[in-house]
Structure formats: structure tokens, C-alpha cells
Homo-oligomer: A and B are copies of this chain.
Amino acid sequence: MRAVAVIGIGDTRFGELWEHSLRDIGMQAGLSAVGDANIAGEQIEALYIGNMSSGSLIDQEHLGALVADYSGLAPLHLPAVRIEAANASGGMALHEGYIAVASGMHDIVMVAGAEKMTDVADDEIPAIQMTAGDQQWEGISGATMASLYAMMARRHMYEYGTTREQIASAVVKNHKNGSLNPVAQYQKAITMDTVIKSPMVADPLGLFDCAPISDGAAALILAPMEIAKKFTDKPVEIVSSFAATDTLALHHRESLTRLDAVVHASRRAYKRAGIEPKDIDVAEVHDAYSIGEIMNIEDLGFFEKGKGGPATLEGMTEINGVVSVNTSGGLKARGDPMGATGVAQAVEIVRQLRGEADRRQVSDAEYGLTLNVGGTGGTAVVHIFRRV
């Protein structure tokens, strides 16, 4: 298999984009990536579109052909496909696009993620989010994603003595980072008090522990490493791309406080890259719920199991900490348009490794990692990127 590089990135601001449809934002992110890569649209050989629930959200499937069409690529008759792995759809689209280039099947591939969540009433969203869980066991019993993550949080507190303040400190950090990111949904720092006193959603998680409902899109242009320098002075190599799954239902797992899919995907990724967790300088992880970030940074091996909370409260995951986590603002502040999130994570890491992250730039970042999670950990997708 060939080495693969990211040669172009593009995204929209995340938020409540009332004035734009899914096809608008998909096209906007795509065109921005094409411009960034300095290619003509006609050079694209295949499209991989990450999206979780467009059928339920906007009554539209067939997004591969749709995005090709509305990006003006219909005359090319190129292959285009939608990739779905719940909230990990974006990361999984990147995984499949990576394989397509690594295999030699295609040279220039666009990977995009897009989701339009604000075209349905807010109170329909929890049910749609639960389509990522095990409906026959969990949804039917009234579980919501927030309630499942709340159980993980309570158990984490019980097993490891993790405190409410430690969990909330991930949110405070992410809002601070988001305040430095011009494409974040929320660009405003908040206090610990705001998080802890926010209205309860599912004990112990409050409103500010949960990522928002968002519209948004992000896109990447991939190419074989061997020709990447023809397009850009700053190619970023994808040194590992791995996905793993687990039981869909939380109660079927051995542990409530460890996501085995994250452990497996990341161990394979480190092995392929020939590095260890401590070599990662900057990481975007899946803080759809605040406790998710605490567990992720443990399961990725950045910190020992049970030490994620204290590490976060002590600032070890702040920009230029031991490892800089969610410099974009994470899902909490950057926003979380479900199928777009995994691609947006990669866009942020590329910005960091290129040295283009402006006020939130991590010093001398060489290795970056993205972790995109579907449901409560039914799917995990890990990518490791390297500055060339």
C-alpha cells in the first residue's frame, strides 16, 4: 500500500446555519478544499461522504451522487459514496478514502463530512441520536445518548474517584480553545461555575457537558505521498488509519468506563506508525459528552486509566500541555454536526501540523491524532498524522 497525504482542507463554520441547506454546506467545504489543494475539480477521481442521518434529518439519502452533482462534478461520472458509522461517519469516510488512495485505485480523492441537524425540531434530535445505539435494547427502554454517557460518568466517578470539577474542566478548556477558533460554533470562554450549575440533562451531566446540535461540513483532499509535493509545500502524511467496533449496547460490555473499540483502534494505529502515545503532540478526541474526553485520553494511552480527570483539571491537556487535546474547541465548542465531525477533526490536525492554527497553535507539533467515536463506543476510528 502507498503512503497517503492530505493536500487540501476546507470547512464551514459550525453552528445553526439556517440560511444554508446540506448541499450548500457540502459544496462550500468541498470547494474550499479544492482551492486549498490547488487542484481543478476535474482532477478528483472519487468522493467519500461521511454522514450519519440525512434520511431522517432531511429526507435525503444518496449523498455521494448528490454532493458530486452539486459540486459540478456530474459530467465526470466519478464514483461517489456515503459512508455511515453513526457519529464516526466522518472518520470512517476518511478511512475508506485512505484505503482507496493507498490501494492505487485512485490518486486524488475528496473526503467530506456534512450534516444538517437544524431542519428538524430540537426535540426530535435525541431519538435520531439514539439510532447510533442499540435500539432494540437501549432505545426501546427509553435510554438517550446523554443518559448512557451519564452512566459511564457515574461509574467512572465510583471506580476512580473522578470528580465533577475534573469532568467539567474538559468543557472549560474546550470553550477556551473554541474562543480562539474562528470556525467554532461557540467562540466564548466559560467558567467552571457555568458548567457545573447548568441545567441537569442526565445526572451528573448538565447542559454544558453535552455537545450542541450543529450544521456544518468539512472536506479533505487526499493524494499519494509521492506526488503530494506537486500540489503543496506542506503535505501532511496519514501514517495510520484504523477502525474498530464493539457491542452496540453499553450493557453488553465488560467495562462501562473503557471503550475497547478506542483501545483496539489506537493500539493498531500506534503500531503501524511505530510510535507511542507519548509521541502525540496534538489530538482531537470525541467529547460529545464531557466524560467522553476523560475516557478517551485514558483509552488512547495518554494517561493511565482513572487519571484522565486529574490530568485535565491540572491543565495537562491544554494547548502546549503534555498533549494538546481538542485545540479546535472539540465537539463541545467547535460544534458537532454528527457526520462532519470526524472530517473536521482531521482539518484541525492538519492546520496544527502545517503551523496554521494561529492563536491556538501548538508549538512544534510533529504528530497529531484524531479519534472519532460512534454511539457509546460501538465504533472508533483513529488516524495518526505526521508533519512532513
Chain A interfacial positions (CB closer than 8 Å to B): 1, 21, 23, 52-53, 55-56, 58-66, 68-69, 73-74, 77-86, 92, 95-96, 99-100, 102-105, 127-128, 130-136, 139, 242-249, 252, 260-261, 264-265, 374-375, 378-379
Q: Return the contact of A378 from the options B65, B99, B248 (Cβ within 8 A).
A: B65
| Complex interface: chain B residues within 8 A of A132 (CB) | 61-62
Shortest Cβ distance from A2 into B: residue? B103
Contact B53 A61 (CB under 8 A): yes
| Complex interface: chain B residues within 8 A of A79 (CB) | 95, 242-245
In angstroms, Cα B73 to Cα A247, docked, is 9
Q: Evaluate whether A102 and B102 lie within 8 angstroms (CB atoms) in the complex, with A21-B136, A64-B379, A242-B79 already known.
A: no
Contact B81 A82 (CB under 8 A): no
Q: Which of A55, A63, A246 has the most CB of B within 10 A?
A: A55
In angstroms, Cα B312 to Cα A254, docked, is 58
In angstroms, Cα B342 to Cα A245, docked, is 25
How many copies of this chain? 2
| Complex interface: chain B residues within 8 A of A64 (CB) | 84-85, 92, 245, 379
Contact B77 A81 (CB under 8 A): no
Q: Return the contact of A103 from the options B102, B128, B139 (Cβ within 8 A).
A: B102
Contact B74 A135 (CB under 8 A): no
Q: Return the contact of A66 from the options B66, B102, B134, B261 (Cβ within 8 A).
A: B134
| Complex interface: chain B residues within 8 A of A83 (CB) | 81-84
Contact B246 A77 (CB under 8 A): yes
A-B contact pairs, 8 of them (CB 8 A): A61-B84, A62-B379, A64-B379, A78-B244, A80-B379, A83-B84, A84-B84, A96-B96
A203 to chain B, nearest CB (A): 26
Contact A135 B60 (CB under 8 A): yes
A30 to chain B, nearest CB (A): 14
Contact A374 B62 (CB under 8 A): yes
| Complex interface: chain B residues within 8 A of A92 (CB) | 64, 81
A318 to chain B, nearest CB (A): 31
| Complex interface: chain B residues within 8 A of A59 (CB) | 56, 127, 130-131, 135, 139
Contact B378 A69 (CB under 8 A): yes
Known: A59-B131, A64-B92, A65-B374. 18 other contacts (CB 8 A): A21-B136, A52-B61, A53-B61, A55-B55, A59-B127, A60-B135, A60-B136, A61-B132, A62-B248, A69-B247, A69-B378, A74-B246, A77-B246, A79-B244, A80-B245, A84-B84, A96-B96, A103-B103
Shortest Cβ distance from A22 into B: residue? B136
In angstroms, Cα B374 to Cα A118, docked, is 27
Contact B60 A245 (CB under 8 A): no
